[in-house]
Structure 1
C-alpha cells in the first residue's frame, strides 16, 4: 500500500496509489478510476463512462472517492459499498471509548482497536494513527447502513488501516546462539491461512546475515558470546478487513483478511567477540505487497464460515519474534 499523495478531510487523511488505469471488468480488479451507477433497486453498482459517474482510487485496496465526495469500496461482488472514513490517534482513549461506539462498530473490531491503543500507549507512540473504514451510516436516528449483497445475503466490510507502521528494534536471536542463527538466516516469509508463501531475503543478494557481518568487519575468527544479539526493524502498511453477513440471525463475522505492504527491513548484529568491529546495521528495501487469499473477494468465504470465522491475518516468524501485522 505505497502512498503517493494525501487528501485531508474532517475525519481522515487518505492516500493515493500507483495502479493501472483500465476500467475494471469485474469487482475484483483495482484500477485508478471506476464509474459508479445504481440499479433498479437503488443499489450502488459498477457502471461505465456512459451511464456512471467517475470515482478515483484513494486507497489501493479498492477504496474510491466519487465526484460527490462520497466514498465507495469494492466488494468482490457486482455491488459497491458506500463507506465513510475515520482517522484518529491511538492514544486518544476518549475518542475510542466515547466517539467510536456512536458508529455501532462490531465488538471484534472495537476489541482490536483497544488492543492497538493499549500497545501504542505502552510504547509511548504518541503519533500512532489509525484509519477506520466503515459502512456509511449518517449519525441520525432511524438511518440505515449502506450494505451490499451476495446471492441475496446482506454483507458488510470494515477496514482498519495502519500506515508506516514501525516495529522498532526487536531482538530475534541473542546470546551464544545468535551467531549460528545469523549463519542460517537468509530469508523470511509472510504466512497466513491459505497463503502461498514466497521467501523474502533479509539482505541484497540473499546472503546470510553472518556473511554480511564478515564482509563488513573482515573478521571471521571469533566465538559467540552471551552478549551477542541480532535485531530487526520492519516498516510496513497494513489493511485488515472484517467481513460480516446476516443470514437471518443478525450480523455475524465470517472472515478476517489482510493486505500488507512491506516497505523495508533493518537488521542489526552485535558480536562482543569480534576484534575489529562489534556492530553492523543493514537496510533492505522490500516494497512488496502480500495479500491473504480472500481479501478482494470475501463474501463467499464469509457466508460459509459464519459459525466458525476464518482468520487469514498475516504473520512473520523472525527467529524468536513473531510479527503480527
Structure 2
C-alpha cells in the first residue's frame, strides 16, 4: 500500500447532474452565508453592548464562534465539490477537516456543560454568583473548554493518522474519523478504545448538565423570582443541547447502522445535520427568546444599514460632483 501522504480520498455523494449540483450549490451558499450572518450579528451585539458583558453572554459568544468554525469546516469544501468535476480531497486535507469537525463537536458539548454550570450558580446561588463567577473564572473556563477540546481532537487524529489505509472511497460528502478508520488494513482496537473513552467522557458531561437542571428546576419551583431568568436563559440552552445532541446521536447511529437503500440526497442531509442545524439555529433561539438581544440586534443592524446607506449616498454624491 502507498504512503498515506500520497492518498487522495474520493468523497461520494455528489454524483448528481450538474443542474442539480448547481441548485444545491445555491442553497448551500445561502445557508452558509446566513449562518455566518446570524452568529456574527449576535457576537457583535454582545461585544458592543455593555449591559450584555455578563458570563452567560460571553459563553454564548464562544458558542457562536464555535458554530462558525464548525460550519466553515464543512461548507467551503462542499461548495467546491458541488461545482468540481470530481469530489476528491487529499489525505492532509481530510485529516484537517476531521480535526476541525471534531474540535467543533467537542467544544460545543463542553461549552454547553460550562453554560449549564453558569446557570446553576446564577439561579441556585444568586447572592454568591458575582463572587463565584468573576472575569478570571470566565476566562479560565473558556481556556479549559478549548484546551480540553483540542487535546481530545489531537489524540484522535494521531491514532487515525497512524493507520495504514487499503481503500480510498469515503461514503460521505465530508471526512469523519469513523469513515477513515473503516478504510484501514489493520486492527483498529486503539481507535475503538479511545472512542469508548470519549463516549464515557461526554456522557459524563451530559450527566452533569442533567444534574444541573434538576437543581435548576427545584430552585425555579421554590423561588418565583427565578422563573423569568430560567425561561430567558435556561430554556434556550436546553433547546440548543437537545438539537445538538439529537443531531450528533442520529448521525453516529446512521453512520454505523444506516441502510444503503436511502436516497443519496437524504443520506447527505442526515450526515451533515450536526454541522448545519446547530450553528444556524443556536443564535436564532437565543435571539428570539432574549428580548434584550432581539432589540439590540435590531439596533445594531439598523445602525450598520444606516452607515452603509450614508457611505453609499456619499459616494454617489462625490461621483456626480467629480464627473458631471
Query: TM-score of the superposition, structure 1-length normalised?
Result: 0.27
Higher strand proportion: 1
TM-score normalised per structure 2 = 0.27
